[in-house]
Amino acid sequence: MSTFGTQFCENFAIARYLDDQWQAAAIEPLRPLELHPASHVLHYASTCFEGFKAYRWPDGKAHVFRLPDHVARMQKSAESLRLPVPDTELLSNMVLDLVTRHIDDVPEPPSSLYLRPTLIGTLPNIGAAASPSTEALLFVLASPVGDYFAGGIRPLKLLVEDQRSRSTEQLGSTKTGGNYAAALGPTLDAKAEFGVDQVLFCPQGDVQETGAANFMLISDDEIITKPLDTSFLHGMTRASILTLAADMGYRVNERNFTVAELFSWIPKYEAALSGTAAALTPVGTVVYEGSELPVRDGPNVERLRTALQSIQYGQAEDRHGWLTPV
């Protein structure tokens, strides 16, 4: 299978917001978008998106994971960027109609069909730096994907950045492209200098997240992760893992913790990154002030990842109603 996110289905779903209302959505052949050069998104970054997956079950049918939650999060992102907010029914049906059209393109597990709804401001006005876009375009891409990491899951190496933030405090929980752009430079610099996979952003010593995933510590009976606030993304995989962990008897401890506490815990806690693309991926090493510190290697990350994927693949009961059949 092609590199993650580079192969696309031949159709996409699209809808426009014009004259103060959403127009009817349609499934159209995938094509380049036509945008006015003065479009709001090109100058003032009025864009947000979501990322989630549809899975093929043994009976050949597809199921979308946590669709209502992703729709709700996109609506919150749109609100925070003052973009027209997509109707719940409109966006949900765009996703389901697109998956239905491409049901035969949903691959067998562990591969899946990655879905990327995107909302952009299209008002042609370069004088609107302090004004919202009153026109918008909403579209959904579908991409058959395999493993996010080439060669499969492996323990990652993280650089601990104890000064800079990934995002701003007011936009950290918004899934907008600007946050990923802000993390890109520090991440590429860290890869070049230290040979790491990601940067763990810990502004003023407060452990938060990497450029594209939430961070958690896992022992044989406890999970520690930062409590939700507006400074970082509220990941659906994070929420799912915490729910399953509680079901499995782990103590879920959502608390703020420092870099110093992180270093004191990693000899006895496993560490992991959670996200839609990579599910739950172990961290094997952290780098700080030029030194490499090994992280405990244990069974808990794999145990929790398997519990999540068994539900997504239709191999275990969906007790929490996370899957929407197509």
Q: In this predicted model, what pLDDT tens digit does every residue of 240-280 receive, in sequence order?
A: 999 999 999 999 999 999 999 999 999 999 999 999 987 99
Contacts of 127 (CB under 8 A, 6+ apart): none
- Predicted local confidence at residue 151, as pLDDT: 64
Share of the chain above pLDDT 90, in %: 90
Query: Structure tokens of 288?
Result: 């700080």
- Above 80 in pLDDT, residue 27? yes
- Pick 156-312's CATH classification: 3.30.365.10, 3.20.20.240, 3.20.10.10, 3.40.50.2300: 3.20.10.10
- Predicted local confidence at residue 7, as pLDDT: 96
Mean pLDDT of 310-326: 97
C-alpha span between 166 and 212 (Å, rounded): 9
Q: Which residue blocks in 10-164 are alpha helix, DSSP H?
A: 40-44, 67-80, 88-101
- Predicted local confidence at residue 176, as pLDDT: 95
Q: Which residue has the tokens 């093929």?
A: 56
Q: Residue 314: name the closest of 51, 52, 65 by CA.
A: 65
C-alpha span between 122 and 133 (Å, rounded): 7
The β-bridge partners of 143 are: 114
Q: How confident is the model at residue 150 (pLDDT cuts 50, 70, 90)?
A: low
Mean pLDDT of 300-304: 97
**pTM across the whole model:** 0.95
Give the domain ranges of the chain.
11-145, 156-312
Query: Structure tokens of 118?
Result: 């995107």
Sheet strands (E) in 66-205:
112-121, 136-145, 156-161, 198-201
- Above 70 in pLDDT, residue 46? yes
- Predicted local confidence at residue 170, as pLDDT: 82
Share of the chain above pLDDT 70, in %: 98
The reply to whether 11-145 and 156-312 are identical in fold is: no
- Predicted local confidence at residue 108, as pLDDT: 94
- Residue 321 CB-density burial (10 A; 0-12 exposed, 13-18 middle, 19+ buried): exposed
- Above 90 in pLDDT, residue 237? yes
- Predicted local confidence at residue 220, as pLDDT: 97
CA dihedral 55, 211, 306, 152 (to 10 degrees): 80
Query: Structure tokens of 53?
Result: 């997956």
Q: Residue 8 is which amino acid?
A: F
Q: How confident is the model at residue 149 (pLDDT cuts 50, 70, 90)?
A: low
* Average pLDDT of the chain, as a whole number: 95
The model's pLDDT over 151-209, given as tens digits with 9 standing for 90+, comes to 678 899 999 999 888 888 788 899 999 999 999 999 999 999 999 999 999 999 999 99
The model's pLDDT over 106-120, given as tens digits with 9 standing for 90+, comes to 999 999 999 999 999
| Choice among 36-40, 79-83, 249-253, 273-277 with the minimum mean pLDDT | 273-277
Class of domain 11-145: alpha beta
